[in-house]
Amino acid sequence: MHSDLILGTTLAAAALAYVFKPKKPKTELEASSVTVPVIPTYLPLQLDGVLHYILTTLSGKDEMEFLRNITNRFGNTINFRGFNRDFIIVLDPSSIQHILAKNQPNYEKGPELQAIFHEFLGSGIFNADGETWKTQRQIARPHFQTSEFKDAALINRHVDLLIKAIDKQMAANPGKPIEVQSIFCRFTLDEATEFLFGETVHALKEENSEFATSFNYAQAITAWRFRVPLWRYLLPKKRLLKEIKNLEEFVYKIIDNAMAREKVRVEEKERTPGSEKEEKGKGHATLLDHFLAEQEEHNFTREYLRDMLLNFLLAGRDTTASLLTWTMWHLSQRPDVVDKLKKEILDVVGPTAVPGYDDIKKLKYQKQVVNEVLRLCPPVPFNIRQSVEEDVLPNGYYIPPGTPVSYSAYSTHRLPDLWGEDALEFNPDRWGPERVGSIKPFMFVPFHAGPRICLGQNLAYTTAQVTLTRLLQHYDIKASPGFQPQNLGDIVLFSRNGVEVLIEKKSIAA
């Protein structure tokens, strides 16, 4: 994207905002509350702050640290204003709890955010409010219960393929570091598509699979819509629609096959009296099956099912891939932590046994490590809501109606006031018995909280821990000399340049 074009468009948008923004009298609530501090700027219409942020991202710098440094300077509740429009960022746990739980109905996705995601995600759960969101969540919830994946068979089957893929790379480039971010994205894409759809895209076998390429492009362009003014006119749409069509061809084929199976099942049920009672309470093979079992009541369209599946795929694939990627990075820097993890795995699971859900529950130190990765590298580093009506946060700050309000797990998880002077250090012991009691609600929100808390958090933990256990049974993990990852704060927190680690094949018992 050309920086001159961004600059010119930003100036034009700012001028229009200045000319046409109406001035409104203060309401009684606003007059009795505290105005959120606006970040100081020196150009008209707050152009310098907005341009600084956009150009920081365009130049490949760390936008998450850019935003964290701003809050460090100006406070935990700030107004990052641009074009005379409010954009409020909150970090304190009480405000996050207020937005996500106590007054959750007042903070929706909102029309602006929904427009950004519309072509990609439609009216799926990630992009929905109200009854649409409630219906999808209610139907999907049973599929994410622990009983659906407790034996970890599906996870272990895909870990087998992951290990083969890593071995293949090691054989092709002996002694060279492996870029694990891309391989974890392909691994979780395979696992998620089978868990959700009943069919996998075989991304581990086909490094440049069409589905994976299209999915990555759609996500990247959607993320840029957050940043660029007048994105409808500046960002490429023709290719986006083409890549989305590629996704839809795969998804619609699965939907049509599943609908045909459901039709046969219903016909057989009608021909066999009493079969409905026998089927009641049985689990469904895929998330799609859960929805089709409710088809008679809700009459879901193909488009509705398409939206639902792509939304859950976005949430399921990238968050777990991000968690695994950053776990490998931190472990490569901490051989002492790796040694403790290996000893625990040897004691609890053994050197070669394939772990199940019950084994994972016993790996207490491993859970501490995973939580510490989630603290420093939350898969969704920030999230945005929009206020429906005016409101006042617990700290007394006023929120106007129709205002974007963002909370940043990335920044909140790094506040020394909450986490101590070692807040920026990777320290799994903070989750041990001596310190874990100091971690209060809404200090730690890697999977969000409240009514919209992530349905798949138990699956994410299980997948990450089963995968980590198996990898440490097979390999040693060491730092790649001179390599440093670069934060990329898109929809999900990844590294702009991937994550390189040295992996050596070695038995855990050696």
Q: Are 33 and 103 in contact (CB under 8 A)?
A: no
Cα distance between residue 78 and residue 71, in whole Å: 7
- DSSP bridge partners of 380: none
Q: Write down all domains in the chain, each with its CATH number in brackets.
A: 3-505 (1.10.630.10)
DSSP 335-374: HHHHHHHHHHHHHHT-SSPPP-HHHHHT-HHHHHHHHHHH
Q: Give 259 or 354, the one with higher predicted confidence.
A: 354
| Token couple for 449 | 């909280």
Cα 167–chain centre separation:
28
| pTM of the shown model | 0.89
Q: Are 393 and 90 in contact (CB under 8 A)?
A: yes
Q: What is the DSSP letter of 145?
A: S
- pLDDT score of 277: 47
User: Hey, which bits of 433-481 come out as E strands?
Assistant: 475-479
Q: What are phi and psi of 85, to 5 degrees?
A: -120, 135
- pLDDT score of 209: 80
Q: What does the pLDDT look like over 127-148, one tens digit per residue?
A: 899 999 999 999 988 888 876 6
Counting Cβ atoms within 10 Å, is residue 48 exposed (0-12), middle (13-18) or buried (19+)? middle
Q: What does the pLDDT look like over 323-337, one tens digit per residue?
A: 999 999 999 999 999
Instruction: Using DSSP, state whether 454 is helix, strand or coil.
Output: coil
Residues with Cβ within 8 Å of residue 285, at least 6 apart in sequence:
198
Residue keyed to tokens 């004691």? 347
Q: What does the pLDDT look like over 166-221, one tens digit per residue?
A: 999 999 999 999 999 999 999 999 999 998 888 888 999 887 788 888 988 888 88
454 annotated ligand-binding residue = yes
- DSSP bridge partners of 90: 77, 407
Lowest mean pLDDT across 16-30, 205-219, 428-442: 16-30
Give the length of the chain: 510
Residue keyed to tokens 């069509």? 245
3-state helix, strand, coil in the chain (%, to 5): 60, 10, 30
Q: What does the pLDDT look like over 65-99, one tens digit per residue?
A: 888 988 999 999 999 887 778 899 999 999 999 99
Q: What does the pLDDT look like over 402-421, one tens digit per residue?
A: 999 999 999 999 999 999 99
**Average model confidence (pLDDT) across the chain:** 87
- DSSP bridge partners of 478: 502
| Token couple for 293 | 């079992």
